[in-house]
Amino acid sequence: MNQDPRITAYAVGELEARERESFETELAASDSLHHEVESMSGLAKQLASAAKPTDRFTAGERVRLLAKCAAIRRARTVAKTSLKVVLWTTLGVAACLTIFAGLIVGMMVFPSSSPQSAPAEVAIGSTWIADSSDQIASPRRGSDIELAPAEPQARRAGVISDVAAAISATPAASASVRTYKVQPGDTLGSIARRFYKNSGQWQKIVEANKGALSDPTKLKQGTVLIIPE
Binding site for another protein (CB under 8 A): 1, 3-9, 11-12, 14, 39-40, 43-44, 46-57, 61-62, 65-66, 68-70, 72-73, 76
Nearer to another protein, 67 or 105 (CB): 67
Q: CB neighbours (10 Å) of residue 35?
A: 11
Q: How far is the CB of 81 from another protein (least distance, A)?
A: 15
Q: How far is the CB of 108 from another protein (least distance, A)?
A: 47
Cα separation, 165 vs 181, in Å, equals: 30
Nearer to another protein, 77 or 221 (CB): 77
Give the H/E segment covering residue 165: helix 153-168
Nearer to another protein, 54 or 214 (CB): 54
Cα separation, 67 vs 49, in Å, equals: 35
Q: How far is the CB of 44 from another protein (least distance, A)?
A: 7
Nearer to another protein, 65 or 99 (CB): 65
Angle at 91 between CA 85 and CA 96, to 5 degrees: 125
Q: How far is the CB of 33 from another protein (least distance, A)?
A: 14
Nearer to another protein, 49 or 214 (CB): 49
Q: How far is the CB of 30 from another protein (least distance, A)?
A: 17
Burial of 201 (0-12, 13-18, 19+ CB in 10 A): middle
Is residue 197 left, alpha or beta, with left meaning phi > 0 and alpha meaning psi from -120 to 50? left
